Amino acid sequence: MTVGKNLRQIRKRKRLAIEDVAKQCDIDATLLNEWERDKSVPDDISLDRLAAYYGLTGEDIRNTVGNKCLYKGYVNISERKDKSFCEPWGNAFHYEYVSKTKVFGLPIIHINIGLGSYKAKGIIAVGNIAQGIFSVGLLSVGVISLGIFAIGFLAIGLIALGGLSVGAIAVGFVAVGGMSAGYFHLGGLSVGKQCLSLICTENALSLSGKL
């Protein structure tokens, strides 16, 4: 197994985002991504810095091959009771991509999804937790935001909070949802000044024709 694949597997097994590791180790995230994909090779100082952050040594990462796994040191899979940590499918449901091009210090695209609290931050961010101009995730924050819980100027989600929000529960200046709150509302239950709803708590227009 290559150094790059070892670095990638260690980080995934520890459920760490590539940008968080890069920040803690004072390494460019794009460069770390290239190392993990074997597009280039880390220098000894950077590798030792990464290894120390993971609680290992540079030699551990260079020499781990075959049925060996890294977990608090250089440990053979047969020596661990919890062998699932070392199985290749342990983090199969994780994918991360960081574009090389950056704007205002942020990658244009950052995708980081999988089983765990993976974070994505970029102009376009897709992740379990996403933050960007355009964001998609379980929890998403952005100008345009899509997610289970979405916050943004335009927010669409199960629970949406924004200037224009659409969701089962929507809160915003303009809100559309099963339950909505804001200045203008459309929903089964609406709270605010101007609403079109089965039930309106404050004046304007309702489907029942009451003011």
Where do the domains of the chain lie, and which CATH numbers do they carry? 1-92 (1.10.260.40), 93-211 (no CATH)
Q: What is the mean pLDDT of residues 89-116?
A: 77
Q: What does the alpha-carbon distance between residue 98 and residue 118 come to, in Å, rounded to a whole number?
A: 13
Question: Is it the case that residue 206 has pLDDT exceeding 70?
Answer: no
pLDDT of 137-195, one tens digit each? Answer: 989 999 999 999 999 999 899 998 888 888 888 888 888 888 887 777 776 666 666 66
Q: How many helices (H) and strands (E) does the chain have?
A: 5, 7
| Res 133: pLDDT | 92
Count the Cβ atoms, other than its own, within 10 Å of residue 199.
15
User: Residue 210's pLDDT is what?
Assistant: 40
For the segment 34-61, what is each residue's pLDDT rounded down to a tens digit? 999 888 989 988 998 898 888 777 877 7
Average pLDDT over residues 16-39: 91
Region of poorest pLDDT, from 4-8, 23-27, 52-56, 81-85: 81-85
**Residue 34 is inside which H or E element, if any?**
helix 29-36
Cα–Cα distance, 127 to 121 (Å, whole number): 8
Confidence of residue 64 (pLDDT cuts 50, 70, 90): low
Residue 78: pLDDT band with limits 50, 70, 90: very low
Global pTM reads 0.53
Joined together, the tokens standing for residue 60 give: 């551990």
pLDDT at 172: 85
